[in-house]
Amino acid sequence: MISINIEKKLKAYHGQQVLHIDKQFAMGSITKIHGPSGSGKTTFLKVIAGLINPDKGAIKADHETWFNAETNINLSTQKRNIGFVFQQYALFPNMTVRQHLEYATADENWINRLLLLGKLESLETHKPDYLSGGQQQRLAILRALTTKPRLLLMDEPFSALDAKMKTELIAALKELLKELNVTTIIVSHNPQELDGWADDEMVFS
């Protein structure tokens, strides 16, 4: 169980607002998040990952405290064992597809399995500049999975994929995440694409 009870001030177009989340996520569950731009969806993911600190509150995973404002506990992203798919991909320009995955794991069998899942096995020597937007997005997803994370955070992970590739990738991911028992939180501008997959839903306003 991942328990989150935090507050974070947001800079909004119409002044300042406060993001307040009090939510529990069951291990192995998939939660979709949607809502208008500026409502704090990406900020929420970054708070969970430890990339942004909340102003108040606590984040716990099972019996481990990841963050507690009162006791000054703040585990690093690495210690939280989180995979993060950034909206802008955040790929390394000088690394090939395979090197992106090798950077996080030495398990060649796992790397090969991920390349097949993302249908990038024929492009493993290519660098990001030589990949399409959809291929870059798939690489970002695979990289987030290389450490077999406890928690996977995905920010608009399918926005650059065509309908056929999106359907195939979601089906493959569904099986893999179930196998690994990964808790997954997905921000999507098109929540319908996750119908029948997500166990829970959060709507930001």
Give residue-wise pLDDT tens across range 124-138.
Answer: 999 999 999 999 999
pLDDT tens string 37-83: 888 999 999 999 999 999 999 999 998 999 999 999 999 988 999 99
Domain boundaries, the chain: 2-203
Q: Is domain 2-203 annotated with CATH 2.60.40.1180?
A: no
- How far apart CA 46 and CA 54 sit, in angstroms, is 10
The helix-helix angle for 163-180 and 133-145 (nearest 10°) equals: 0
Half-sphere exposure of 39 (CA within 13 A, CB side): 14
- pLDDT at position 17, please? 86
Residue 205's pLDDT band, with cuts at 50, 70 and 90, is: confident
- pLDDT at position 194, please? 82
8 Å CB contact between 146 and 105 = yes
- How far apart CA 122 and CA 62 sit, in angstroms, is 40
pLDDT of 15 above 80: no
pTM of the predicted structure, to 2 decimals: 0.93
At 153, which amino acid appears? L
CB atoms within 10 A of CB 123: 19
Q: What are phi and psi of 185, to 5 degrees?
A: -125, 125
